[in-house]
Amino acid sequence: MYMDKTRLFIHKTDFLTKFDVFVKKNRYNMPKRRGVRGVISVRTDSDLQKIFDSAAPGETVILPEGTFRQKCKITTPGLTVVGAGADKTVLIYDDYAKKIDEAGMEYVTFRTWTLAVCADGVTMRDLAVVNDAGHPERKGQEVALTVYGDNFRMENCRLTSTQDTLFSGPLPPDLIDRYEGFLSDDLRRDTPGRQLFENCLIEGTVDFIFGSGAAVFRSCEIRSLPDARKRGYAAAPSHSREQTEGFVFQNCRFTREEGVEDGSVFLARPWRDYGLCSFIDCEIGPHISPLGYDPWEGTHRDETARFYESPLPPGRVPWVKKGSGPS
164-182 pLDDT, tens per residue?
Answer: 999 999 999 999 999 999 9
Is residue 268 situated within a structural domain?
Answer: yes
pLDDT, averaged across the chain: 90
Is residue 185 situated within a structural domain?
Answer: yes
Is residue 327 situated within a structural domain?
Answer: no
Least confident of 30-34, 136-140, 277-281, 323-327: 30-34
What value does the mean pLDDT take over residues 51-60? 96
Rounded alpha-carbon distances, angstroms, from residue 39 to 50, 62, 63, 82: 15, 7, 11, 10
| pLDDT score for 193 | 87
Query: Closest Cα to residue 141, out of 211, 196, 65, 198?
Result: 211
Non-local (6+) Cβ contacts of 153 within 8 A are 122, 123, 124, 195, 196, 198
Pairwise CA distance, residues 264 & 219, whole Å = 23
| Number of domain units in the chain | 1
Is residue 292 situated within a structural domain?
Answer: yes
| pLDDT score for 178 | 97
| pLDDT score for 18 | 44
Pairwise CA distance, residues 136 & 206, whole Å = 9
pLDDT-derived band at 35, boundaries 50, 70, 90: very low
Is residue 40 situated within a structural domain?
Answer: yes
Phi/psi for 7 (5° steps) reads -90, -10
What value does the mean pLDDT take over residues 30-41? 57
By residue range, what is the domain housing residue 34?
Answer: 5-322
Q: Which helix (H) or strand (E) holds 52?
A: helix 48-54
**CATH code assigned at 149:** 2.160.20.10
Burial pattern 16-46, b for ≥16 Cβ within 10 A else e, equals ebbbeebeeeeeeeeeebeeeeeebebeeeb
Q: What is the dihedral of CA 192, 197, 204, 15, to 10 degrees?
A: 90
| pLDDT score for 275 | 98
Pairwise CA distance, residues 252 & 248, whole Å = 10
What value does the mean pLDDT take over residues 245-249? 97
| pLDDT score for 326 | 84
Q: What is the distance in angstroms between the CA of the first residue and the CA of the last residue of the chain?
A: 31
Q: What is the dihedral of CA 258, 262, 267, 272, to 10 degrees?
A: -100
| pLDDT score for 327 | 55
| pLDDT score for 192 | 84
> What is the share, in percent, of the chain residues with pLDDT greater than 70?
88
| pLDDT score for 62 | 97
